[in-house]
Amino acid sequence: MKSEAERTSLQGVPQPGQNVPILQVRDLKKSFPVKRGLMQRTRQLVRAVDGVDLDIAAGRTLGLVGESGCGKSTVARMILRLLKSDSGTIRFEGRVIDALSEKQFKPLRRSIQMIFQDPYSSLNPRMTVAQSIAEGVRIAGIAGRRQQRERIEELLTMVGMPPAVADRYPHEFSGGQRQRVGIARALSVAPRLILCDEPISALDVSIQAQIINLLKDLQDRLGLSYLFISHDLHVVSYICDNVCVMYRGRIVEAAPADALFDDPRHPYTHKLLASAPSLLAKAEQPPPVEARRDPLPPGACTYAQQCPEMDSACLDGPTAMHQVGPDHWVRCPPAAGKNP
Amino acid sequence: MHFHGEGPVARAVDGIDFQIHRRQTVCIVGESGCGKTVTALAVMGLLPMPPARIAGGRILFDGRSLLDLPADQWRTLRGRRIAMVFQEPMTSLNPVFTIGDQIRETILAHEALKEAQARLRTISLLNDVGIEDPERRASDYPHQLSGGQRQRAMIAMALACGPDLIIADEPTTALDVTVQAQILHLLQRLQADKQMAIQYITHDLSVVSAIADRIYVMYAGVMVEQGNPGQIFQQARHPYTRALLDALPTKEKRGQRLATIPGTVPHPAYKPSGCPFHPRCGFREPACERDFPQMCDYGDGHGARCPVIQRMGGFP
Amino acid sequence: MTADTRNSALDAATGLPPARTPWEETWRLLRKNRLAFSGLLIFVIFFLVAVAGILLTAGSRPVLDPAQVRLQEKLLPPLSLPNHEVLPPEALPPLGRYLLGTDDLGRDVFARMLQGAWVSLTVGFVAVGIAVIIGIILGGLAGYYGDQELEVGHLLVWTTGVIAAFLLLTNRPAGAAAAAAASAVIWIVMRRERSLYEGPPSRRRWFTRGLVSVDTLIMRAVDVMLCFPSFFLILTVVALLPASLYNIMVVIGLTSWMGTTRFVRAEFLSLREQDFVAAARALGIGDMRIIFRHIMPNAMAPVLVSATLGIATAILTEAGLSFLGFGVPPPHATWGNILSDGKQFIFDAPWLTFAPGIVILIVVLAFNLFGEGLRDIMNPKLRERN
Ligand SMILES: Nc1ncnc2c1ncn2[C@@H]1O[C@H](COP(=O)(O)OP(=O)(O)O)[C@@H](O)[C@H]1O
Ligand SMILES: Nc1ncnc2c1ncn2[C@@H]1O[C@H](COP(=O)(O)OP(=O)(O)O)[C@@H](O)[C@H]1O
Ligand code: SF4
Ligand SMILES: [Mg+2]
Ligand SMILES: [Mg+2]
């Protein structure tokens, strides 16, 4: 009911339709200063996110894959406005949100939620499960102890936990159970988009499957959209409709999950696929490519130093995204030129 | 291996046997809390006692019983002939010494070498584990290295005295898949070069496929299935092994629901009676709740603790 | 094997071992830690004695009168009987004996010790209470808002504000009004400036130019305070102020907040980066609620520990001040001035020195043991297992 009232107050905003993606990110950038020395003077900037574009269709799942440190969490934190972006635009349901003031953003805040990687630090150790979830339930405008309690138990059931755990503390649960509580907390404000920042990387394989199933069920029931961040291409291609592969702050390949799996183009995507151990064969690892140490010209492909396919086109000027199939884009001149 | 503290006794590891032959890679697989780390620490003699107590059993290394060894002999054995690599390299490296110092320390603790010789050995070890520019890297502190490099440094330290057995406890669980692939590759290469045995502990069956000669599947302190990779992956005979395999997301399963194992590993103090897996098992029969299952032999070193599947002659 | 049967069954509804709240867990570990537990016991006894002491020794006709002078009965050893012949009946000790003897004026040392217990207790708690409140506020500010730059204008607004308050208190309303007006004007100019020069800080003008970060300011203040030898600082201040129990408490409190500030800041810095704080922000929870509901309870463990240790220090400081004659003015008894009075008679009447000396030792030791024990118990590394 609350969200109805809210939607009518957003007049003049394009309504979420078939063609408007629920989230659109354009040319998002963020650098962090590296502080060194006694005086803590800024010496250098790390370009953590260097021009990222993303589109998430409503009710769909977009995967964001890359090795750790490539800037995935930074993207998620900027979308959630936990971090301020340096430049670029973020549109949520057609509305530019990064220019809004904190006050204007407040009603939208509940629409985007996040699930975190580390199940140990994502729950407040001094709060019971019920208290943690109640924080969101209250924000969602449910007053009255009884109603709040009912909603909390409903949320716990929704994520597959017995309601009787409500008065337990996080330290009594396993990683997978904590992750479920974290999901319940995110759901408590009825979001439309959930950013899942490596939600299963810290879990056992058997528990990973439970959480993946839970996320899919919730998507079917509640029509959620997900940004699913991971370093494991296998997991991502199992859950996601579309996948973006990220390398050092840039998207290097974007494609529907099937296309990415059947016809990976970027050399880095190849490497990610080859790294994932497969059940069937003793993996034959390709010998690692000797890293070339010569500095890259500005704008060159960031992967050039490790890339077995590198040629002169990779170093000439900024490498743009090339379309190689329906919705399949790759930031690599040699890969774009080749035919499958 | 039992933990005596307040409250009920935690039977963390409860009657397991396994063997590791020379130059073999043996993998121990199971969910968190199954007792894998406790097993490894028991072999290393690193369990704090009390609260831990070895309630029975033997650990033979090279025919010698480790449990009967005096503490100082066990200590020399550890490091020199058996070495361990831990899951979290940041906490197992000392943050205030350079990695070069730490490796040299290990060498000097076990061998009568001159400083300079130890230094040379350190550099060549770092080179062996694939750290570029080892002379410079040796003077780096742990926090200056990436996760993968730290794990390589840990492996170099484990290799310092040319051990016969390396116990690797989830060495890649905290790492990215790309880095994991490199570390697995490295372990295989080192095993071939140095003729060591490896005991590799993990919760991820798909990792195991890349390296294992023999696999033990562990559940709630018990070995429930053992065999070589072909037997385990193609002809699993225990519902737990089967469930672990089914839970892996793969390309082929796209669009289907993943099979899951309901519930969680029991706390060692509250283990169910009969087959420890029965509360989570889809094949259980009334007898499973009562009788502890025997190891059913399928020949060629393949065995599983599940009479039900044996009677059914495999999974339907 | 002999496990409590309640303990060994799994909870049917949750499938978890029986519930234990963090506080129950702390209590359980505390009971296992024998030294800390005896520290706590002594503390409880001390508390009860001090409360009983103030009830028995206060009022116009106290049950035990610490100020009753009996010149005939001076310097009697502990447990001696009063002389019924020479004393008027109202001067007889109500307990029938001088439990701890009498001093050079024939006052009952037991009664005086009881009165002193209350002084020590209140000094300990109030001084530490002041220090902890300052420490939490400053440490919390430095930890949570530490990155924020303090601007020139802020400083001017505050200085003029303080001047206004000072003038008002010293009864100069015209000056106060002028200062308050200046303060308001600077504030308005700052707001104008900020809206005019939205942009990188280098383009800001005079009033909104960043000066120091909140963190730097607070932590340098801590460093400065730590540079003073605090006992001498207290001596100086106490020498300037009229001697009273309240001044002593406030002065000790105002000179001992630095440790707490550091602890709280460190806790806030690490807790602020935890995912549960990010999750709270993502839910749209306000800063104040995040600070007080989400971060503070997690930062309390080291504060509690340092507060317990701080009480011991404050008791010692007060005893030291009283011993030197800068403390609570006589005739009110404190452990420090009993000790100080007794030192002239240390050979003739050693109980005058030993009674307060040993009691101070025991109480301070108890607080230290309890504090150290709490530190161990609240250490998450020791709590993980079991
Ligand atoms: N608050 C910060 N201050 C400085 N550097 C940061 C900060 N957050 C992230 N970084 C840097 O930005 C890069 C990207 O980090 P992150 O987004 O966390 O990567 P990922 O989530 O892909 O592992 C890393 O190199 C990291 O060191
Ligand atoms: N020192 C200890 N005291 C009590 N219980 C312990 C101790 N160490 C481990 N355990 C228990 O033993 C079980 C097995 O632990 P572990 O070997 O670490 O599992 P794994 O390595 O398979 O994840 C766990 O349930 C754990 O709670
Ligand atoms: S013995 Fe019974 S419960 Fe145990 S795994 Fe086999 S079928 Fe399942
Ligand atoms: Mg991340
Ligand atoms: Mg383990």
Per domain, the residue ranges of chain C are 43-67+107-147+215-385
Share of chain A above pLDDT 90, in %: 35
Read off the pLDDT of residues C213-266 as tens digits, 9 standing for 90 and up. 888 889 999 999 888 887 888 888 888 888 788 888 888 898 889 989 998 999
Taken as a whole, chain C contains a residue count of 386
The response to whether residue B84 sits with its C-beta less than 6 Å from ligand 3 reads: no
- A67 falls within a domain: yes
CB contact under 8 A, A209 and B203: no
Domain that holds residue A269: 13-33+44-111+191-278+285-338
Higher-pLDDT residue of C18, C112: C112
- A119 falls within a domain: no
| pLDDT of C202 | 52
Point out the residue among C4, C17, C386 whose CB comes nearest to the CB of B267.
C17
CB contact under 8 A, B253 and A275: no
Q: How far is B58 from chain A (nearest CA, A)?
A: 30
Of A23, A31, A21, A170, the closest CA to residue A87 belongs to: A31
Check: CB of residue B238 under 8 Å from CB of residue B250: no
- A28 falls within a domain: yes
- Say whether residue A272 is in contact with chain B using an 8 A CB cutoff: yes
Read off the pLDDT of residues A300-317 as tens digits, 9 standing for 90 and up. 788 887 788 777 777 776
Q: How far is B198 from chain A (nearest CA, A)?
A: 17
CA distances from C293 to C275, C290, C300 (A): 15, 6, 12
* Residues in A 55-74 with any Cβ partner in B closer than 8 A: 67-69
Q: Determine how β-strand A322-325 pairs with β-strand A23-36.
A: unpaired
CB contact under 8 A, A212 and B258: yes
Going from the Cα of A198 to the center of ligand 4, the distance in angstroms, rounded, reads: 7
Nearest CA in chain B to C8: B8
Q: What is the mean pLDDT of residues A49-60?
A: 91
Distance CA B34, CA C115 (A): 61
Beta strand extents in A186-278 (DSSP E only) = 193-197, 225-230, 242-247, 250-256
- A1 falls within a domain: no
Read off the pLDDT of residues B18-64 as tens digits, 9 standing for 90 and up. 778 878 889 999 888 888 888 888 888 777 766 777 777 777 777 77
Say yes or no: A141 and A237 in one domain.
Answer: no
Say yes or no: A86 and A207 in one domain.
Answer: yes
Going from the Cα of B226 to the center of ligand 3, the distance in angstroms, rounded, reads: 15
Considering every ligand atom shown, identify the ligand nearest to the alpha carbon of residue B242 and give its number: 3
8-state DSSP, A35: E
- For chain A, give the mean pLDDT: 82
Say yes or no: A209 and A248 in one domain.
Answer: yes
What sign for the dihedral angle of Cα A139, A142, A143, A149?
negative
Q: Could you tell me what percentage of chain B is helix, strand and coil, using 3-state DSSP and rounding each to the nearest 5? A: 40, 15, 45
SS3 A203: coil
Q: How far is A41 from chain B (nearest CA, A)?
A: 19
8-state DSSP, C14: T
Exposed, middle or buried, C231 (CB in 10 Å: 0-12/13-18/19+)?
middle
A326: CATH: 3.40.50.300
Point out the residue among A106, A126, A169 whose CB comes nearest to the CB of C284.
A106
The pTM is what?
0.83
| Residues in C touching B7 (Cβ below 8 Å) | 3-4, 7-8
Going from the Cα of A73 to the center of ligand 4, the distance in angstroms, rounded, reads: 4
- A263 falls within a domain: yes
Say yes or no: A198 and A76 in one domain.
Answer: yes
Q: Residue A97's pLDDT band (boundaries 50, 70, 90)? A: confident
Going from the Cα of A157 to the center of ligand 3, the distance in angstroms, rounded, reads: 28
Say yes or no: A199 and A296 in one domain.
Answer: yes
Distance of CA A247 to the CA centre of its chain: 14
The domain made up of C43-67+107-147+215-385 has a fold known as: MetI-like fold (1.10.3720)
DSSP per-residue letters across C142-204: HHHSTTSEEEHHHHHHHHHHHHHHHHHHTT-HHHHHHHHHHHHHHHHHHHHHHHHT-S-GGG-
Read off the pLDDT of residues C297-312 as tens digits, 9 standing for 90 and up. 888 888 888 888 888 8
Last residue of a domain, one of A147, A170, A188: A188
Phi, psi of B225 (to 5 degrees): -155, 145
What is the atom index within ligand 2 of the atom nearest the CA of B38?
Answer: 17
**Number of separate domains in chain A:** 2
Strands of the sheet containing A23-36, edge to edge, are A41-56, A23-36, A87-92, A95-96
- Say whether residue B179 is in contact with chain A using an 8 A CB cutoff: yes
CB contact under 8 A, C3 and B7: yes
Considering every ligand atom shown, identify the ligand nearest to the alpha carbon of residue B170 and give its number: 5
Q: Name residue C98's beta-bridge partners.
A: C80
Point out the residue among B31, B229, B250 whose CB comes nearest to the CB of A206.
B31
Last residue of a domain, one of A142, A162, A188: A188
Say yes or no: A25 and A136 in one domain.
Answer: no
DSSP per-residue letters across B235-252: S--SHHHHHHHHTS--GG
| pLDDT of C368 | 87
Say yes or no: A267 and A139 in one domain.
Answer: no
- For chain B, give the mean pLDDT: 82
- Say whether residue A212 is in contact with chain B using an 8 A CB cutoff: yes
Structure tokens at B187: 């372990």
| pLDDT of C208 | 66
- A116 falls within a domain: no
Domains of chain B: 2-52+69-218 (3.40.50.300)
Share of chain B above pLDDT 90, in %: 5
CB contact under 8 A, C298 and A173: no
Read off the pLDDT of residues C138-147 as tens digits, 9 standing for 90 and up. 999 999 988 8
Say yes or no: A249 and A269 in one domain.
Answer: yes
Lowest average pLDDT, out of A192-196, B69-73, B166-170, goes to B69-73
Of A227, A224, A178, A185, the closest CA to residue A204 belongs to: A178
| pLDDT of C134 | 94
- A4 falls within a domain: no
Structure tokens at A93: 């349901």
CB contact under 8 A, C17 and B270: yes
